[in-house]
Amino acid sequence: MSIKVGDKIPEATFKYVPYTPELENGLACGVPTSLSTNEWKGKKVVIVSVPGAFTPTCHVNHLPPFVQKYDEFKAKGVDVVAVVAANDPFVMSGWGRVEGLKDKILSLSDPDAEWSKKLGLSLDLTGAGLGLGVRTGRYALIIDDLVVKYVGAETGKDVSVSGVDAVLAKL
């Protein structure tokens, strides 16, 4: 069963590497820290979830428009924009640097897609032949004070209901 509008999000703690200027050096790795969903109490949050960092659709079509239109999210009162994937926090940090997220969009690791499983939005790519296993699905959420206001879960490979324009239209 998938999470729906009006549901409170399940609690989770993500690992991520906070952006610092030192990370601009490709040899720096940063230190992972934790972020609890409880920190989103009283905040408007946009989550974009992708099956994997550096994968073709996620890397080229899904995340870049969120970076390009970041200021539009802020103008609509969004406090936090985050990308979530099952990759480890170091990979997410490296991908965030390549995508130019800097300190704007958080790059959160959902190991083993545990949070996405609680949402009913994980994706089993075990048989895809690429060694991907269980991943975070392709979806977007708008959360306000820990309550879901929008769920855009993709059923195919396209980016439509989880894409930037669909999410902006729901704010």
| pLDDT per residue as tens, the chain (171 positions) | 689 999 999 999 999 999 999 998 888 889 999 999 999 999 999 999 988 776 756 556 778 899 999 999 999 999 999 999 998 999 999 989 989 999 999 999 998 889 999 999 887 766 665 656 566 888 999 999 999 999 999 887 788 889 999 999 999
CATH architecture of 13-17+29-170: 3-Layer(aba) Sandwich (3.40)
Is 29 among the catalytic positions? no
CA–CA dist 134, 124 (Å, integer): 4
The per-residue pLDDT for 6 is 97
The per-residue pLDDT for 26 is 80
143 DSSP β-pair partners: 45, 148
Active-site pick, 47, 58, 82, 105: 58
Q: In what order do the strands lie in the sheet with 80-85?
A: 33-36, 13-16, 105-109, 80-85, 44-49, 139-144, 147-153
